[in-house]
Structure 1
């Protein structure tokens, strides 16, 4: 899959790009089922809310075949290669669960702020590319983005260790207010299978989910190989230290797996 010149222009200007229904219902069905099975497991890679509900599951592509195929899928890898102009490796892979009724807040932050401070990533030549596993609606804690905020570079942040179960480098209210006055807030929503790309310095966050509708999203953090991390402080399953370039699988690899999975379940 290749991005058009207009899509690349939008990404560089606004800092984000949404590609609706990039994956089929068959592909998403197996990913959703596998995600639920992972959340039910007792593994160190699975972080939970203070309530005990799943918050995020790291590195599923290293032990689950469906997510391995997703992590090397050309519909995700090729557009980022196109933007960065070089090969990529997987810096981080996570399945975020904004559980029904109990999904907690993600405070306002920039992803690159964490990658630089905690992992020693030299430049913001990495980005998150996300896949909606559930329908993302205005009411169930969608991601909120501040357009064009990436143009301000890496902002000062404080290390919040107490608001949620997950430590995060967060921005203060005055900074967020100023950025919102300049760029507003957008919340990309859509059906399962939608794909969202956003710049590593784009300011974003999400509110708690108090609805009966879960909101699971897979995030691949794809980093330019030349920009590999230099000073990792976090476990390898959070910030990967294998900088081997990703070799994309065939475009129908996940669909073939989903069909075999469905047949086995019947």
Structure 2
């Protein structure tokens, strides 16, 4: 899936692209049907909300679930990022975020690259998210909020928030958010919130400042995020478990465009369980680990 010159210009200006209804209901059905069984598993890769049993994030499903392994190789999700980087990409992170009805908690204002830099020593911001809605997203069920053009500021100051939610995040303080929103247009477009049917897709820059409010509605808002990184820009530290920040820098090979409709074979290395090595971490750079070995 190639981006048009107009889309490339829009991405450079705004830091994101939105494709409403890009995937059909038939294509998303198998993905949706697989989520409850994944969320039911009592594994480290399921992070639950702070004050409930609802899953906040399921990590690395592409390594043990056939439908999501195919999605991780889908050309509609992978090729636009390769187009933007002009380079092959690998899977830095794969997550199914569950903003569940009545229970889905906030995601504070943050940049994804802030976390990838501080925790994983990713050299530059040549990585980004591609998200697909598995549910309809409306103004009531905690949609994503972006500050258009905020990626132009590069990496901004952030603090490590370990208390607000069950998942630690490098967050941006309120004063800077107010400045960025005013700079982007204030009440006239300083915050945007892409909404649309299940199957819609968003591509957004790793420095784009974003957040989402809690879900007080009776409707789930489940989305899948592929965090794709240029192969040359792979992480330099394994501070986080492998199910969160992946260590296989092999370029992604895309499947045919109909891969969500046909059972193309895919490798599932964690099908029989997550290996113990996936939990091994090191606070130092990869080079130090190699010397120690």
TM-score range (shorter-chain normalised) is over 0.9
**2:134 equivalent to 1:133:** yes
How many residues align? The count is: 258
Q: CA deviation at 1:253?
A: 1.5
Note the C-alpha offset of 1:33.
1.0
Task: Tell me, in whole angstroms, the C-alpha distance in 2 between the residues paired with 1:66 and 1:52.
Answer: 24
Tell me, yes or no, if structure 1 residue 241 matches structure 2 residue 256.
no
Determine the C-alpha separation between the residues in 2 that align with 1:75 and 1:118: 29
- Name the SS for the 1:230 alignment partner: coil
Structure 1 residue 127: Cα displacement: 0.1
1:77 and 2:83 equivalent?
Answer: no
Answer 1 or 2: which has greater helix percent: 1
- State the 4+ residue runs in structure 1 displaced beyond 3 angstroms: none
Distance 1:167 1:44 in 2: 15
Larger radius of gyration between Structure 1 and Structure 2: 2
Q: Give secondary structure in 1 for the equivalent of 2:262.
A: helix
With structure 1 as the length reference, what TM-score do the two structures score? 0.96
Unaligned runs of 5+ in 1: 259-266
Residue number in structure 1 paired with 2:274: none
Cα distance, 1:94 vs structure 2: 0.0
| Per-residue deviation, 1:146 | 0.2
The match for 2:123 is 122
Q: Tell me, in whole angstroms, the C-alpha distance in 2 between the residues paired with 1:109 and 1:234.
A: 18
Q: Which runs of 5+ in 2 are unaligned?
A: 185-189, 265-293
Computed over aligned residues only, the root mean square deviation of the Cα atoms, in angstroms, reads 0.9
Measure, in 2, the Cα distance between the counterparts of 1:253 and 1:54. Answer: 27
Q: Which residue of 2 aligns with 1:225?
A: 231
Offset of 1:2 from its aligned partner?
1.1
SS in 2 for 1:37: helix
Aligned to 1:97: 98
Question: What secondary structure sits across from 1:256 in the alignment?
Answer: coil
Q: Which residue of 2 aligns with 1:185?
A: 191
